[in-house]
Homo-oligomer: A and B are copies of this chain.
Amino acid sequence: MNPARRIRDEIAGAIRSGEWRPGDRVPTEQELAARYGCARATVSKALGELAASGLVERRRKAGTFVAQPPVHSAVMTVPDLAELIAARGEAYRWTLLSVEHEAEGEDNCPGPALRIDGVHMAGGEPFALERRFIALGEVPEAMGADFATEAPGTWLLGHIPWTQARHVIRAVTPTRREAAALSTGAGAACLELDRTTWRAGRVVTHVRQLFRGDRFDLVAEFNAGP
């Protein structure tokens, strides 16, 4: 076994099992190097990975300590709708409702923009409503795209990879129009996913997706450490 991996996993195990408690001091790099019979750089790499994953905190002069558990963050999977629906064994289809050219998009997507409305369908049934703004200042080629055949999210993935994004998740009661478009009851709870996407600090697109509460949920995993 890798010395670095072994050191990392043994320390991670001691922390996760509760043997080492938050605030406990981890042995110094020199002590660990002596104990494991390896170079200090190897120990440094192992501790660096543990620090990067949040299991320990390192302070100069003071030493390395077991960190306080950050129970509050988790990695959430925001699925690609086409993939998600295909994985369920249902047929996916995108239905375009409208494309409008606007001089001023909205708060979350300023400047000239396209406003695209459509529906994601699963097995012939509406699955999610989508309203999207695409900043034409950032993605002028969106003017020439055909959003009737390809969902705008899919098109954007091919043209603007490597973005940063912010998601806001809410539970909302749909309007009558929305409920009708989703073929759901007027009072049925829906999950709203708002995503704003940047590239190099500038908004590329903003999308609001509305899901039937009885057909969609999000899953997030929290796994501290390597």
**A: which residues have CB within 8 A of B?**
15-18, 21-22, 49, 52, 55, 68-69, 71-80, 157, 160-173, 187-192, 199-200, 211, 213, 216-224
Number of copies: 2
* Residues on the B chain within 8 Å of A200, using CB: 16-17
* Residues on the B chain within 8 Å of A165, using CB: 71, 74, 221-222
| Contact in complex: A22, B71 (CB < 8 Å) | no
Cα–Cα, bound, A157→B72 (Å): 11
| Contact in complex: B75, A80 (CB < 8 Å) | no
Name the distance in Å between A19's Cβ and chain B's nearest Cβ: 10
The 6 A-B pairs with the shortest beta carbon distances in the complex, nearest first, are A189-B189, A171-B213, A171-B171, A171-B191, A167-B220, A187-B187
Given contacts A71-B80, A169-B218, A173-B188, 9 further A-B contacts (CB under 8 A): A69-B161, A71-B78, A74-B165, A75-B76, A76-B167, A171-B190, A171-B211, A171-B213, A173-B189
* Residues on the B chain within 8 Å of A170, using CB: 191, 213, 216-218
Cα–Cα, bound, A172→B79 (Å): 20
| Contact in complex: A220, B188 (CB < 8 Å) | no
* Residues on the B chain within 8 Å of A216, using CB: 170
**5 pairs, A vs B, C-beta closer than 8 Å:** A18-B161, A73-B75, A74-B76, A74-B165, A164-B222
Cα–Cα, bound, A220→B79 (Å): 14
| Contact in complex: A190, B191 (CB < 8 Å) | no
* Residues on the B chain within 8 Å of A157, using CB: 69, 71
| Contact in complex: B166, A221 (CB < 8 Å) | yes
* Residues on the B chain within 8 Å of A187, using CB: 173, 187
* Residues on the B chain within 8 Å of A52, using CB: 49, 52
* Residues on the B chain within 8 Å of A220, using CB: 76, 78, 166-169
* Residues on the B chain within 8 Å of A79, using CB: 72
* Residues on the B chain within 8 Å of A73, using CB: 75-78
Q: Which residue of B lies closest to A212 (CB)?
A: B171
Cα–Cα, bound, A75→B223 (Å): 11
* Residues on the B chain within 8 Å of A172, using CB: 171, 189, 213
